[in-house]
Structure formats: structure tokens, C-alpha cells
Amino acid sequence: MNRARHPLTCAAPTLLAQALAAAGLLAAAAPALAQQPPAAAKAEDDTQRVVVTANKRVERQREVAGTVSVLDGGDLERRGARDQEDSLKLTPGVQFNKGDFASNTITIRGIGLSTTNEGAGAQQGPTGQYLEDVPLASPQGKGTVWDPILWDMDRVEVLRGPQGVLFGSGSLGGAVRYLFAKPDFKRFGGAVKGEYQQVSAGDGQFSLFGMLNAPLADGVALRAVVYDRNDPGYVDNLGTGTKDANDLKQTGGRVLLGLRPVKGLTATVVASTQKSKQGDTSSVSPDPNRLEHRAPNNSRRQSTSDFASVTIDYDLGPATLTSITGYWRNKSSALIDDTELFGSVGLALPQVFRPSAATEKAASQELRIASNPGGTFGYVAGVFYQKSKASGAAKQIDPSAAFGLTDLVDLQSSGGGDETAVFGDTDYNFGGGLSAGLGARYYRTSTDFTQTGTIFGGPANIGPLASSDSGVTPKATVKYRFGDHQWYAVASKGYRYGGINGSVTPATEYKSDSLWSYETGIRLTPMPGLNVDVAAFMLDWTDAQITVFELVGALPTSSIQNVGKARSTGLELALRWRASSMFDMAAHLAYAEAKTRSDIRIPTGGPTSLLVTAGARMPGTPKLQGALQGNVNFAGPFDSSGRFNVTYTHVGDRVMFLGGNKPADAYNSIDLGVEFALQKLVLAAGVKNVTNERGVQSITSGPGGVSPFAQYFLQRPRTMSVSVRYDF
């Protein structure tokens, strides 16, 4: 990969004990409260029947060799989950690092060297994202981070550990898969939902969601989804006098067409679009306890994201042949205020702002064959191809012309990349509960990049440059099932693109980095309705890629370097207990030690560099994090079915930059919700972040985090919501 970055782009134990005690009280109170279970209550053994396709073939979740968390779409809605900030905190070992919309970063098991997309470099992110099995990342770098609306989502699967065999590049730490609810061929119906949200110290907004499912003919069904989502703002820009400036508006929809022309053949066509517009950054500065910042311009962002896919499954009896054709495009524009950022590197100006526009798009094709459940020999084998392109233009403007020119930076760039791969994964059942498997992926990647323009009036033309890379990522698994329990072990490898840095002269090459994961775990079912999962892992990261800043003339410019080795070791515990049809609970706890294994010297854009010694903490990763969820079903008024839920989450202290710079304290969150279902009507209310805690989720700063300048992204303040849903 070879895209240059333009310069300067850069538990509390007491609360946990109280939450556990509260869950115990709920369990004790459940028989008294839940005299009438809801009609939709699940059977007690549903925890044994959750089906996933994380290995690209149908398997029960608890029989997969590896760790997969499944977030059910209906449960996410009941908990009021709107986006990644709400959903990813429910999975062990996953750290959500907040940014402005479309710029979040996700760290799984400590694998990441940056907590912000801004200034994080053009290398791929360490966590892969997939929509309907179509990869949303591109070799040009992180680009736009997709955060699909969770309305009418079937499920979200979070795969922890490298997924290089089946999912390819950019899944060093793991992968997040979003799967839409599919058309129902038998039932006509739909739903309409209206929701009002009011944020503490901010404004209130109304959102509207709709879904229609219609069988059109024998073997033909349509599912249509529309939404107008409005998130209230809560950050004031004192520089422009704008209150609640960071409001977010997202409108869009999708259409899914299901076809069954002949027996055994199913096709699903998906087309979706989403427009997003944010009024100002959600970061606060300089005080993380005050919801305000001071900038001469509102940092405005907007984008249009289009997605389409065609998935064809043909049941051959012993196996299923699958074709997945995908396409996505993201067009974005922004006006970002860089005044404070320039000041942080000694270039104080009255104001500096950065208008930009970019287009990213990719088309992909996967063809695979996978065995159907029930045989002694399980397998999946296939080929994959993706072609992506990106183009953009950006300026940094100084209206005062203090350096003798207005356009300090004026750059245009274009690039592209191809990935071709052949993959296979197997599993053989030896009998007696013992099975083992082997898998591998051969990949070949190529990229190109061209840049034209000026920096401080001087030419900044680069390229055209090109690079290519190839390799093999293997995987081995062992499983032993005894009764309702299972032990497993897995060793697997992940990778990212290498490339060329065109931002320095002469151009320098950086290598593809890779990661080996070794994991073992046990899944226990001590009694019906109770599941206990324990996993231990060790991740060895080699030639880790990081963005560094070096002086080129008067300005620091960024490049990507391979900086050595790192290791993450940890333990994860997950528990789910369905005590009865009236009460259930879930809990998880994750411990991780993510540290460097070699000395790393990082240029920071000045005359000196930062020495990070071996044993330094990796940024953005807490040693301890956890969550506790409880649900109680009860008889409500007017013969309604009631449901109460509580979620407590804890994120431990972190450092936000390699070398320990910009530490962040631990924080907690408590969410409450209640709903009443009366025939086709559901009334719900909820409160998120009940204690209104100012938890720091990420920090943007100058190069290397050594500057006193800091912009803090916080968890949402206390937010109250009420909603009405009508199903027909």
C-alpha cells in the first residue's frame, strides 16, 4: 500500500459489585414480577442453537473453534443500541475508540497502534469490517469506517483473533460482520417506529424508522427499510457561538429482494444508500470535563455511502455453492478546522481550515463451496477478487496569508489496489468427540498511487508509484466435544498490505505486517440454560506498521514504518444464564496485557524522536474491561407484556499513544430500559449513561502525542429516549 498522507493530517470494583448485586436481586424478584411471560419468550435451550456463518459454513456458535460473539438484532433494538458505540461494548476483548462519524477505530485483543483515524496513517486498520460478507476496507487505508444503522439488522458477529484464512487482509485482530434481516417469503407485514432522544446538557431530536416485508409471488419476496435518524448534539463551539454543534443526521434506506426460482436455489439482492451530515466535531478541548471547544470554524462533515450485493446460494445436497458479488462507494466532503493542530507544532495562525472531498469505491467477487452440516468431513474452499479505487483533493487554507500565500497545502491524489486470493478450510471428525482441521489462504496484492499539488508553494508531485505483495496465511484447529461441553485450540495468522511511502524522498518501502494467534478455550454447560466460556490467547505481532512524522522542509509529513514486535496475552470469560422464561443475564470479563517486545524509535515531526522501550503498553487497550446485562420479563398494565433491561460496562485505564502519552482513566456506564408490548404496539423508554460519566474513549493530539494539545472524544452524556413501535 502506498498512499501518502498530506502533512498534519493527523472498574470501579464498587460499581461492579453493586451491578452484580442488582442482578442477583432481579433474579430473586423474577418469580414475583414475571407472572405472565411475553408471547415471544425464547425457549431455555436457545443458547445451544444459535447458528453462525463465521467460518463461511453453517455451524452452531458454541461448536466453532475460536471465539465468536453474536449480537442479535432484536436484542440490540430492545437495548436502544444505535451504532458501534452502543453495540461493541457488549463483546469481550473489543475496544471502541470513538471519533467523529465514519472515523471510529476498533481494537480487538490489543491489536492496534493508534486510537484515532485522524492522523493514523494510510495503512489498513487492524480490524476488518464486512457487510453481507463484502469487505468494506480497501488497500488505500482505513478510509471511511462504516457504521451501519442497526435498525432491522439480523445480527452482528464479532470474530476475535486474526481471520486471514477466510476474510483476508486487514483482520489482524479480528472482524466485525453486519448481516441484514432477509426477506420473508411467507408473511406480509412491517413495522414503524418513532423515537425521541434528549441528551443531558444538549438538545433533543426525533427519529423515524420503517420496514415493509412483502411476498410478491411464489418464490419472490421484498424487504424495504427506510430511516431518518437524528442524534442530538451536546458539544458547544465557543469560537463560533454554536450550541450543541455536533448534531448528526442520517437518512437512507435499503431494499432486499429474495428469489427462489427453483428448488435449492436462493438469491438475495441488496441495494442500500445512506446520507450522513455532522454539524461539528464531537471532540472537546482543552478540558475533558466540559462539553465545549473553541475553534474559529465548525468542523463539518458529510458523506453518501452506497452499497450493493448479490448473493446466490445453490444447495447441491452435500454442499452449497455460493457466489457473492459486492460493490460499495463512499463520497465524502468536509471542512475541518486545523487551527489548534497547526498551533501544536509551532505554527500559530489566526485560523487554518481544511476543505476536502474524496471518493472511494470497490468491487469484489467471491465464489466458494462449503459442506452442509452433518458430515464427517467439513470444508469450505473458494476464490476471491477485489478491485478498489480512491481519489481525493484537500487544501489547508490560511486566510491571513501569514506565510505569503493563502493555500498552504493544495493536493490531489488517486490510487487503487487489487487483491486476489485462493482459500480453503477443513474439519475432520475422528469420532469420540474429537475433530481437527487445517486451512490456508494464498493472496496476492498490488497497489498504485499518484499525487499532484503543492505544499507551502513548492511542488509535491509523487509517482505514479506501484507495489505488490504475496504470501500464505495458515490455520490449524483441534476440537474435543464431551457431552454438552467442548474444548478447542486454534493457531491462525493474519496480515495487512505492504507498500511504498511516496511522502518522503526517496520513496521508502514498508513491509506487510503479520500476526500469529494461539488460542485455547473451553465451553461448559453446567446445567440447562447456563453457558460458561473461557478463552486464553497469545498474539505475536511482527513488523507492526505505524504512522510516524518527519520533517520535510518546514513541515512534518507522515510515512508508514515497520517498527518491530509486539505481543498481547489475555483471558476472556463469558457467561450466559437463562434462569427461566422470565429472567436471563449475561456477563463477560476480559483481561489483556498488550505490550511492545522491542525498542521502537518514533520520529514525531521535530528535531528529536520518541524512544519507546520494550514492554511499553499498546495504545487504546485496557487491561480490564467487562459488561453485565440483565433482563426481566413481567406482566405489565392492560394485559401487556413488560421487559426491563440493565447493562453495566466497565473500561479500564489506557494510554492513547505508544510510549504512554495521553493516558485516560477508567470509566463506567449504566444503561436502563423498559418496554411494554400490547398486541402490535410496543412502548419503550430508556436512559443511557445514567450517571452521566465523562469517559474518554479516544484522544487526538499532535504527532506522537507529545504535544500538550489534545482533543477528547467522550462517551455520550446521559441520554433519555422514548419510542413507539407498531408492527402490522
In percent, the amount of the chain with pLDDT more than 90 equals 60
Separation of alpha carbons 247 and 418, rounded Å: 37
- Helix and strand tally (H, E) in the chain? 4, 44
How large is the average pLDDT for residues 569-577?
96
Tell me, what's the pLDDT at 503?
A: 60
Tell me, what's the pLDDT at 4?
A: 37
Look at 20-34, 177-191, 391-405 and tell me which has the smallest mean pLDDT. 20-34
Tell me, what's the pLDDT at 3?
A: 38
Cβ neighbours of residue 370 closer than 8 Å, sequence gap 6 or more = 56, 57, 319, 320, 322, 379, 380, 381
Each residue's pLDDT tens digit, 357-366: 999 999 999 9
In a domain, 585, yes or no: yes
In a domain, 288, yes or no: yes
Write the Ramachandran bin of 377: left for phi over 0, alpha for psi from -120 to 50, otherwise beta: beta
Q: Which sign, positive or negative, has the C-alpha torsion 55, 59, 64, 66?
A: positive
Q: DSSP class of residue 41?
A: P
Write the Ramachandran bin of 261: left for phi over 0, alpha for psi from -120 to 50, otherwise beta: alpha
Tell me, what's the pLDDT at 576?
A: 95
How large is the average pLDDT for residues 136-147?
66
Distances from the Cα of 472 to the Cαs of 165, 189, 703, in angstroms? 9, 48, 34
DSSP output for 53-104? -TTSS-EEGGGSSSEEEEEEHHHHHHTT--SHHHHGGGSTTEEEE--STT--
Confidence of residue 607 (pLDDT cuts 50, 70, 90): low
How large is the average pLDDT for residues 86-91?
89
In a domain, 5, yes or no: no
Contacts for 277-280: CB closer than 8 Å, 24+ residues apart: 277/248, 277/249, 277/250, 277/301, 277/302, 278/100, 278/101, 278/246, 278/247, 278/248, 278/249, 278/302, 279/233, 279/242, 279/245, 279/246, 279/247, 279/248, 280/233, 280/235, 280/237, 280/242, 280/245, 280/246
Tell me, what's the pLDDT at 603?
A: 67
Tell me, what's the pLDDT at 122?
A: 63
Which CATH number goes with the domain that contains 49? 2.40.170.20
- Residue 104, Cβ neighbours under 10 Å: how many? 25
Look at 152-161, 279-288, 506-515, 677-686 and tell me which has the smallest mean pLDDT. 506-515
Tell me, what's the pLDDT at 10?
A: 35
Tell me, what's the pLDDT at 207?
A: 97
Tell me, what's the pLDDT at 255?
A: 98
How large is the average pLDDT for residues 293-321?
95
Closest C-alpha to 515, from 491, 539, 479, 547: 539
Domain of 434, in residue numbers: 13-727
Mean pLDDT of the chain: 86
In a domain, 7, yes or no: no
Each residue's pLDDT tens digit, 30-57: 333 333 333 333 333 454 556 667 788 8
- Residue 691, Cβ neighbours under 10 Å: how many? 10
User: CA neighbours within 13 Å on the CB side: how many for 400?
Assistant: 9
Confidence of residue 20 (pLDDT cuts 50, 70, 90): very low
How large is the average pLDDT for residues 445-470?
86
Tell me, what's the pLDDT at 11?
A: 35
Cβ 106 vs Cβ 674: under 8 Å: no
In a domain, 8, yes or no: no
Separation of alpha carbons 308 and 599, rounded Å: 45
Confidence of residue 550 (pLDDT cuts 50, 70, 90): low
How large is the average pLDDT for residues 708-728?
95
Report the number of distinct structural domains present in the chain.
1
* pTM, 2 dp: 0.89
In a domain, 6, yes or no: no
In a domain, 630, yes or no: yes
In a domain, 4, yes or no: no
One-letter amino acid for residue 309 of the chain:
S
Helix, coil or strand: residue 690? coil
334 vs 343, more confident: 334
Confidence of residue 504 (pLDDT cuts 50, 70, 90): low
Look at 28-37, 273-282, 381-390, 511-520 and tell me which has the smallest mean pLDDT. 28-37
